[in-house]
Structure 1
Amino acid sequence: MVFGTVFEMLGAITVGARTADTIKNGIIPNSAFRGDAGVQMLAFTCALAAASSWVMWCTKHSAHVSSTYSLISAVAGVGVATVGASQVQWGWNDGKGLGAIFAGLGMAPVISAGFAATIFMLIKFMVHMRKNPVPWAVYSSPFWFLIAGTICTLSIVYKGSPNLGLNKKPDWYVASVTMGTGAGVALLSAIFFVPFVHSRIVKRDHTVKWYMFVLGPLLFKRPAPDHADRAAVPNYAVVQDDEHSSVESIRSHTDPKPDDVLPISTSTQDTRENEKRLVNTEASQRSYKELEAAGEERLHAALRKKKGPIGWAMRTLHENPMGPGQIYELHNMKILAKRIPAMLVCGALYGLHYDIHAAQTGTEGTPEGARMARVYAHADKYPNEVEHTYSFVQVLTACTASFAHGANDIGNSVGPWAVIYSAWSTGNAAASKASVPVWQLAVLSAVISLGLITYGYNIMKVMGNKITYHSPSRGCSMEMGAAITVLVFSQFSLPVSTSMCITGATVGVGLCNGTFKAVNFQRVGLLLLSWIATIPIAGTLGGVLMGLFLNAPHFSS
């Protein structure tokens, strides 16, 4: 989360002004407001209110909709209500009109899928298909650090923020800085990262701590422990084989057969088998909401055992339920005095501690759980040692994706805000043509990160669990493919949906398993439906809000 926040702000400040300018000036021409700063302020305020309301409702229901297209549609709807449909830039408009923006609705997911699939297939041929893939994963990792470092630097230097003047640098400067930075990152990874991972995975040295990476090549000479039968790496299986969540338990809960319940036997073993099957049959008859609530309660029980603020808050809420009667009863007011601080702590920290993979336990015994079990069964599983190597690479690719997200999505909020602030501070609608100040980019990127930390888990559990099988090598391919697509579109000042890009990349990598059955196309179809519905719904909300406020009874001056 810390790295994500830093790179989100970096992408917003260095590149984000380009897409912000498209949203604030490219859809509704400034001349349409005829110098009326008040109407212009109201228009973009209604657009923000409509788009944010729709996105928040969808997020609550785990619908991964595009905030980019929500705002663009709301701005278009506001424009129709304010100055008429003829004044809205429906066409290409030099790459800044609605025609150019909505062209990305079809192009971005496909392009992102192509990039991500290409990257993953390269990893698959270089590493996963080898007889001994672990050394190949370790020694090829600097290449991916080179790619990620180069992409980040290129997006900053080449056509970066006008406020930094980087877009005026000569080609030789762009090429040398970009390649130099990428090569430097790759060299540092070869010196410090490769020996560290080699010791932990190839040598299976359990005694190597994270801070020992500073020893660099000296770790190659470090003797390996005598009894190291396997590397001490986490289990990266999406569905963990424990008492609450496993593919087999999902299958048995979701597909009971009439002959599953056997006659009661006199033997102890048969009796136990009977009991297990009776429990499975009973579980399959529970409603979806009951199963989901049971899974959520297991998650909450785990959080209550934690130390620190989140554990205290969850225990406080659990031990102090509201009593009978209305909220204004004296005993309930005393309980509220304890609950409110705990609720605030939970609101701030719950998303940080939410385990999206453990959340799958809420789907046990449901058709969705069985469907995902079938999807996961068609995906190849790779050694945890290999995936552990790519988990480090994924940190950098996630930072790159955060950078790309900040570079693109900051325009969603800062474009209208820049218009509102300029019109308010100057009283002149024409002032909105000025460049976006850096401080506005920084403030709003911080607010985006706050939303990610506090409420983003609703989308994470969909993207991480319900489309295809995930692993670090797949994840870094998805993030890199989406990041490249977003940055390419940003360079042409086109706001493109990061939601659509990462979804397209996820599907592209899922199809690399060689079968359509490795992708949950039902969930993809629901996402596509929500994307299409976003355009009329957000546009209508924005237009209706603007029409109500603009035509409300008022006193003449």
Structure 2
Amino acid sequence: MPKYHDFDYLFAFSMIGAFVTSWGIGANDVANSFATSVSSKSLTFRQAMLAAAVCEFLGAVLVGARVASTIKNDIIDLDVFNGNAAVAMLGFTCAIIGSASWLTFATRNAMPVSTTHTTVGSVIGVGIAAAGTGAGVQWGWDGVASIFASWAIAPCVAGGFAAITFLFTKFVVLRSKNPVKIGLITAPFYFFAVGCILTAAVIVKGSPSLNLDDLPDTTLAPAIILTGVGVAGIAITFWLPYVYSKVVKGDYTLKWYHMFMGPLLWRRAAPADAVTADMAVPDYRVHDFDHLKEQANPVADRTDVEASATEPSGNSVSGSEKEISPADEPAAHPSQLAKVEADLARDSNDGVISGRPTPPKYRTFDGNPLEPWNLYTIFRYNALPWLWYQLSAGLRTDIHAVQAAGSAKEQLKLKQMHDVAEQYDNKVEHLFSFMQVMTACTMSFSHGAGDVSNSVGPLAAVYYVWSTSLFPSDKADVPVWILAFGGIGIVLGLGIQGWRLMSVLGNRLTMHSPSRGFSMEFGASITVVVAALLGLPVSSTQSITGATLAVSLCEGNIRSFNWRMLGWIFFSWVLTLPIAGLISGCLFAIILNAPSWFTPPPVL
């Protein structure tokens, strides 16, 4: 039972703020990570949501505790709170609120920021407000310096791993005389490598309750290798005959569950027209923006939109409600939600649908909005449809259409950038789509292990003080339910608001394909997993950005990358640390030094 009942409200604010922070991590960081898989068409947005729900949650619960402890204890010196548990609780609550505020603003404005930057900046702001720049913050290598170094090192390391992976894939597989054959032969080795990385995260990092990281190296190394061999064996047994039937036999009748037939697929006869049919393998080409735009804007949709734009927003309804004409009834109140959603659903340049589902047709009303019949109209026909649209529209958004939207000038620039990239055999790209799904899950797992601490680390400190009334110590355990709480927030944030970040990333940075996306995610996942094993909270945002840039430069042409977008991303990173610190530091200083009933009057 909690002993600090006087500060129940601080714990409540911390819970709300931590959930909003986790929401922002899902909508910002996780969306940034999965933008690669969705942009290359290896995963749909809904499939990415499902993968994140499983992998982020498991990563947070199984291996997230140690990084949470690092980010809680190594940023500021706990002595700045002078042993006062209540002040420490207030400080970490302000840090949570500062993180939540900046992440909410950044996500709403499609700014791909680092949640590691956000939390570190918030905690630094509290430390400076408590004891100044010299005493409050641990600037040395045991604190902030190591995190600053990881921000610089992580993109370079991830870019190096990604470039090596893609160059090997490019010259050994993609440009070979028989790329499909070479791809099928080398695929088990890719599965082995990814399996080893994921196993290293689970075993070496270990669950805190199992103490797996205490096992000797002579046990860990064989376990990692044998698990990788097992993953490769499963791929050979089930995945290889399945994908062979698709890309070689052209069997377009295969469904995903046929993969469980395993070796029986080697003898499965393909349809008679499978030799000429091109339906077995999806088309992974995403560079034709005119085609994507036409798909996203069928004539029927444009007709409906034009009709809805010309008709009154109240629309014709039956019963006692009448159609309202703004010209005839100047006192009518058009729904403000209609204007907001119209801005979201339409491209700002040419006014066409840009991949977002059509918003509800909100109703207008006569007279005072507080009248009972108008309150019913507002609630039933405006508020509830608006809420459902906000909760569900993300999963119904066409990410590719949103990425391809824009003015004719913008689309021309994107098309020119994509034309620089080399196109490879679509069947070979299909092979790498399966591998990219696995690397995406690895990245998601490692992200849950590392970045969940950004929301639950300070919350763990608040919970410890609230539940024990003791000053937090360096060895305070992070309860599993807190890790699960953060994991749930991450998943919901991705599903509801993740489309915002994906709309400005992915194919708007450089052309994505399964082979490129696999290399990007594999390089970034290695970097983040290794950092999680070391207890170092690196930025997955910067890791995937560095990997994306490195793979695009492997084309041998600097025009293959959107440098203007990179400048916007870098500008977002620069703003994050000081703004998050100012919010949390000012809030902490104002509350801590605010006058109270017990403040003595000034001596004249």
Structure 2 partner of 1:500: 542
* 8 Å contact kept, 1:406–1:445: yes
Structure 1 partner of 2:396: 353
Match of 2:380, as an amino acid? A
In 2: Cα distance, 1:163 partner to 1:509 partner: 39
In 2: Cα distance, 1:135 partner to 1:246 partner: 35
Q: Does 1:414 align with 2:456?
A: yes
Structure 1 partner of 2:285: 237
Q: Does 1:195 align with 2:241?
A: yes
* 8 Å contact kept, 2:433–2:515: yes
Residues 177-199 of structure 1 deviation map (CA, whole Å, 9 limit, x = unaligned): 11111111110110110100111
In 2: Cα distance, 1:173 partner to 1:514 partner: 43
Residues 202-231 of structure 1 deviation map (CA, whole Å, 9 limit, x = unaligned): 111122222211221221222233323143
1:69–1:337: structure 2 CA closer, same or farther, 3 Å change rule? same
* 8 Å contact kept, 1:356–1:464: no
1:198–1:356: structure 2 CA closer, same or farther, 3 Å change rule? same
Q: Equivalent residue of 1:299, what SS?
A: coil
Match of 2:532, as an amino acid? S
In 1: Cα distance, 2:235 partner to 2:229 partner: 10
Matches within 5 A, 1:410-449: 410-431=452-473, 433-449=475-491
Structure 2 partner of 1:165: 211
In 2: Cα distance, 1:246 partner to 1:78 partner: 51
* 8 Å contact kept, 1:387–1:471: yes
In 2: Cα distance, 1:56 partner to 1:134 partner: 45
* 8 Å contact kept, 2:368–2:374: no
> Per-residue deviation at 1:47?
1.0
Match of 2:393, as an amino acid? Y
In 1: Cα distance, 2:429 partner to 2:232 partner: 19
> Per-residue deviation at 1:535?
1.5
Structure 2 partner of 1:337: 380
Structure 2 partner of 1:482: 524
Matches within 5 A, 1:125-164: 125-164=171-210
Residues 280-300 of structure 1 deviation map (CA, whole Å, 9 limit, x = unaligned): xxxxxxx99974375663534
Deviates more, 1:160-169 or 1:327-336: 327-336
111, 130, 135: which one aligns with 1:82: 130
In 2: Cα distance, 1:371 partner to 1:403 partner: 35
* 8 Å contact kept, 2:289–2:404: no
Q: Equivalent residue of 1:154, what SS?
A: helix
Match of 1:92, as an amino acid? G
For structure 2, the 5+ residue unaligned runs are: 1-48, 298-342, 600-604
In 1: Cα distance, 2:567 partner to 2:242 partner: 43
In 2: Cα distance, 1:22 partner to 1:138 partner: 42
Structure 2 partner of 1:378: 420
Q: TM-score, with normalisation over the residues of structure 1?
A: 0.85
In 2: Cα distance, 1:73 partner to 1:244 partner: 40
Residues 453-484 of structure 1 deviation map (CA, whole Å, 9 limit, x = unaligned): 11111112222122110111111111111111
* 8 Å contact kept, 1:23–1:72: yes
Identity between Structure 1 and Structure 2 (%): 41
> Per-residue deviation at 1:93?
4.5
In 1: Cα distance, 2:561 partner to 2:471 partner: 49
> Per-residue deviation at 1:327?
4.2
Structure 2 partner of 1:534: 576
* 8 Å contact kept, 2:238–2:259: yes
* 8 Å contact kept, 1:326–1:332: no
Residues 251-291 of structure 1 deviation map (CA, whole Å, 9 limit, x = unaligned): xxxxxxxxxxxxxxxxxxxxxxxxxxxxxxxxxxxx99974
* 8 Å contact kept, 1:108–1:485: yes
* 8 Å contact kept, 1:418–1:432: no
> Per-residue deviation at 1:110?
1.0
For structure 1, the 5+ residue unaligned runs are: 250-286, 305-313
Q: Does 1:457 align with 2:499?
A: yes
Deviates more, 1:453-462 or 1:331-340: 331-340
Q: Equivalent residue of 2:199, what SS?
A: helix
* 8 Å contact kept, 2:66–2:535: yes
1:77–1:291: structure 2 CA closer, same or farther, 3 Å change rule? same
> Per-residue deviation at 1:242?
5.6
Structure 2 partner of 1:262: none
In 1: Cα distance, 2:411 partner to 2:365 partner: 36
In 1: Cα distance, 2:350 partner to 2:467 partner: 53
* 8 Å contact kept, 2:99–2:118: yes
129, 152, 177: which one aligns with 2:223: 177
Matches within 5 A, 1:466-477: 466-477=508-519
Larger helix percent = 1
Number of residue pairs matched? 502
In 2: Cα distance, 1:470 partner to 1:192 partner: 27
> Per-residue deviation at 1:547?
1.2
Q: Does 1:205 align with 2:251?
A: yes
Q: Does 1:18 align with 2:66?
A: yes
In 1: Cα distance, 2:352 partner to 2:480 partner: 41
* 8 Å contact kept, 2:205–2:532: no
Q: Which runs of 4+ in 1 moved over 4 A?
A: 240-244, 287-290, 293-296, 323-327
Deviates more, 1:509-518 or 1:325-334: 325-334
1:26–1:241: structure 2 CA closer, same or farther, 3 Å change rule? closer
Match of 2:166, as an amino acid? F
Matches within 5 A, 1:41-60: 41-60=89-108
* 8 Å contact kept, 2:289–2:411: no
Structure 1 partner of 2:144: 98
* 8 Å contact kept, 2:130–2:136: no
> Per-residue deviation at 1:345?
2.5
Q: TM-score, with normalisation over the residues of structure 2?
A: 0.79
Q: Does 1:109 align with 2:152?
A: no
> Per-residue deviation at 1:511?
0.8
Structure 1 partner of 2:405: 362
In 2: Cα distance, 1:378 partner to 1:171 partner: 47
1:326–1:152: structure 2 CA closer, same or farther, 3 Å change rule? farther
> Per-residue deviation at 1:325?
6.3
1:291–1:117: structure 2 CA closer, same or farther, 3 Å change rule? same
Structure 2 partner of 1:36: 84
Matches within 5 A, 1:217-236: 217-228=263-274, 229-232=276-279, 233-236=281-284
> Per-residue deviation at 1:402?
0.3
> Per-residue deviation at 1:115?
0.9
Match of 2:137, as an amino acid? Q
Structure 1 partner of 2:31: none
559, 576, 580: which one aligns with 1:517: 559
292, 316, 334: which one aligns with 2:348: 292
Q: Equivalent residue of 1:84, what SS?
A: helix
Match of 1:140, as an amino acid? T
Deviates more, 1:154-163 or 1:529-538: 154-163
RMSD (CA atoms): 2.4
Residues 392-438 of structure 1 deviation map (CA, whole Å, 9 limit, x = unaligned): 11111110010111011011011100000001111112356412122
